[in-house]
Structure formats: structure tokens, C-alpha cells
Structure 1
Amino acid sequence: MTAENPDLNRLVVGLGWSVVASKGPQAEPVAAAILCARDGSALSNEHMVFFNQLASPEGSVGYSTEDSGAFLGEEDQEQIDVDLPGVPEDVAKICFVVYIDPELRGPGTFSTVRDAYIRVANTDNFELLRFDVPTSAATNINAMVFGELYRHASGWKFRAIGQGYSTGLRGVAADFRVAL
């Protein structure tokens, strides 16, 4: 990211999807970002950014909102702002996760989620990259790591992942050592 864009200091990570309407419980995807140490674990519970914790403790990673004027475009369901110079030095990567919230509309899976993607844009909404997440065979998947920003040398790179979890947010929390 930064090798090709040396003046890139702030970026927006957009996450989007569509959900097939159903007569039963509707899947409710929720986005989160986890700031991780070199060992892959979250720096702390407070370093998981989601709807109940809108920004990391130092404010380098946080949800974009229409009220803040930071929300770019209309295609994304969620956007997360990242201030690259403000990210603490002990953060090795920032993982972007989407999970199906079982408490909002009941249990669900990615089987009804279509057109899922993660994109990275600059603050002018110029798209630097996009990854369309394969979800067609996700009948037992209820959480997924879409991608991650990670430190490389003195800059940042992006890795598309698409790793699904059948254990939901609890499985993600266990892998990243976050207490729910």
C-alpha cells in the first residue's frame, strides 16, 4: 500500500455485502477491526473496534460515520478509518472481520450473504484495491476474516484472506485472544 503510495497516511477500509431476504431470521453482518501484536493476538480487549467500541484507545482506527463527515460514498455497509502514522508501533497488523450477529436477529450464516467485499480507498475515495470475498459455499460459516493491513519493512501492505469460522465471533475472539 504505502510503497506504491508513499504519501498515504489515512485510508478508509470499506466493507460491503448484500443479504438475501428470507421469511425467517435475517442474517445481520457486523464488521470489526482487531489491532494485533506480532504474535497475532489483539493488543488488548480495547483494541477490537466494533459497534460497541467505535475506536481504538489511541484513536488511530475507528468507524467512519455519516455524522462525522468521514463516510465516503454509498456502496459500503461499514467503513473503518485508519490513520497509519497514528497506529501504535507494537501493532503488527489490523485484521478486518465480519461476523453474523446472533443477538440481533437470531442465528445465521454467510449462506444468505452475497457480493461481500473489502476495499481500501484513500480519503478522496479513490479505490486502491478491492477483494471480492467468496461466500457461495458458506452454509456453516458465521464469521470471516476478510483481510488485513500489515506492517512490512517501514510501510504497510494488504493481504486478502477470506478465512471463514463456523464458531462465530467466539472462534474469532479465541484466535485473537479477545475476551467477549
Structure 2
Amino acid sequence: MATLVAGANAALTAENPGLDHVVVGMGWDTIPSNGPQAELVPFALMCDASGEAVSNDHLVFFNQLVSADASMTFVGDGDQEQIDVQLGLVPAEVTKIIFLAYVDPEFRGQGTFASVRSAHIRVATAENRELVRFNLGTDHLDSVTAMIFGELYRHRDDWKFRALGQGYSTGLAGVAKDFGIAL
């Protein structure tokens, strides 16, 4: 198992021949508060070569637990959230899958990632053998309302994982604008 830093990537299928199914786990802790508190909502979106979402049917979140092509599904609760990805079922036009969480502004007020601790993303086999992990930093998150944790992406015929930790102060709306999602 490799622990990555922001910007680092790791080969998944090239180093694990026959790997066609991964579980992407996202987790975090929050500091309890009586005021605005971060209620994080995990989200995964499939992007094409232009870097935009293929369509609104190529998303997985609490209102859409399975992607239209059935290659991504929310599963289990070993982490805060887990997303099962059947790599062999991912449509050919999908070049990367972005994994993020945003603060739900309708739950206990407009919180930020400032109260989030121990956030991580990990990629494991279907048998839960951890392949890579990225522990996100907790500095300067006072205005961050959405965070891209990492991405799975195609490199030639292989799949890789990149650790990102990219914050947005514009929440889900900012992510939607950058990736062409209709809200």
C-alpha cells in the first residue's frame, strides 16, 4: 500500500494485473459544533477527454446511487462512503472519474471544511486490500465548501489514481461550472 501526497499518482492496473474492480473509500471526521457544521456529501463524476462530465447520468451521489451504465455504485460503509467501480464497465469515452465531497448548505447552515479532520481517500481491491491512500491536509480550509479528493484516470490501456486535494470556495456550483454539470 502506498500513501500519496497531493499531485502524486499511482499505477493501479499496470501494477495489479487482472484488476478490473476497485472500491474507492472516502472518509473524514468533523469537530462537533452547535453552529454551522460541515455535513459532507460525497459525489463522483465521469469525465470525457475535454475534462467535462459525460452527462448528468454519469454521476453518483445520494440521489443517484448507480451510474446509468452500472459501472459505479455506492456500497458499504467501511469508510464514510464507498464507491464500487467496475473498471471494465466504464464507457470508453470516460477518461477520468473525479471523487469529491461538498458541504450541504441545507444541513445546519453554511459550514466549511474548517471543521473537517482526518479526511482521506483510498483505493482498494474488491477484497478490501488497500492499494493507495491519500490523507488530505487540514490547513487553510476556512472558506472551502467543496473538495476534490482524487481521481481515477485512464493512461493508455491502464487505470491510475491521482491524489488531488483541490478545494473550492464556491461549493458544488463551482464544481458544476468547472465540469459542465447541470444543477
How large is the RMSD of aligned CA atoms in angstroms? 0.9
Gaps of 5+ in 2: 1-11
Summarize deviations over 1:42-89 as a string: whole Å, max 9, x none. 00011121001111101001111xxxxxx26x3x10000000000000
| Residue identity matched to 1:165 | Y
1:104 Cα offset (Å): 2.2
Paired residue secondary structure (2:114): helix
Whether 1:130 aligns to 2:133 is yes
Counterpart of 1:177? 180
Summarize deviations over 1:10-62 as a string: whole Å, max 9, x none. 11000000000012122101111000000000000111210011111010011
Map 1:18-167 onto structure 2 (within 5 A).
18-64=29-75, 71=76, 74=78, 76-167=79-170
CA–CA separation in structure 1 for the residues paired with 2:123 and 2:132: 5
Paired residue secondary structure (1:104): coil
Which is further off, 24-33 or 169-178?
A: 24-33
Tell me if structure 1 keeps the 8 A contact 2:37–2:112.
no
Tell me if structure 1 keeps the 8 A contact 2:144–2:168.
yes
Gaps of 5+ in 1: 65-70
Counterpart of 1:13? 24
Runs of 4+ in 1 over 6 A off after TM superposition: none
Q: How many residues align?
A: 172
CA–CA separation in structure 2 for the residues paired with 1:55 and 1:93: 17
Paired residue secondary structure (1:6): coil
Scaled by the length of structure 2, the TM-score of the pair is 0.92
Paired residue secondary structure (1:7): coil
1:135 Cα offset (Å): 2.3
1:91 Cα offset (Å): 0.1
* % identical aligned pairs: 57
